[in-house]
Amino acid sequence: MKCAPWDKIKENDTVYFKNSGEPVKIKAKVGKVMQIDNLTPKKVKEILDEYGKDDGLEEKKIMEFTNLFKNKKYCLLIFLKNVIAVKPFEINKKGYGAMAAWITLDNISKIKI
């Protein structure tokens, strides 16, 4: 099933990051977005071979992750740039679901506390 941020994120968007239960501490710009569907085990391996190292995977772990993801249907790669620390701030996710891992807004001020 395709879910956010599929079809919701694009180049030059600003993305903010926080750990669960903590304030927002990082922001970045989106440099590039790749959405890949109709995955096959072969495509999964090709994606991991090409981008796995840049995603922090050790080469010796590529096969392990290939097996883990071989039956997935979709892949979303988001390339970030200009990653910086920001003055920590809290957000109010009311109305977005307590477990929302991804919220799409046109202005962060709408949920900034």
What token pair was written down for 88? 């920590």
Q: What is the mean pLDDT of each run of 10 residues along the chain (113 residues)?
A: 88 94 94 96 95 90 93 95 96 81 87 90
Q: Using CA atoms, how far apart are residues 44 and 47, in angstroms rounded to an integer?
A: 5
- Provide CB contacts within 8 A for 29, sequence distance 6+: 12, 13, 14, 15, 80, 81, 82
Domain residue extents for the chain = 1-31+78-102, 38-73
Output the pLDDT for position 20. 87
Output the pLDDT for position 81. 96
Output the pLDDT for position 47. 96
* pTM for the full predicted model: 0.86
Output the pLDDT for position 78. 95
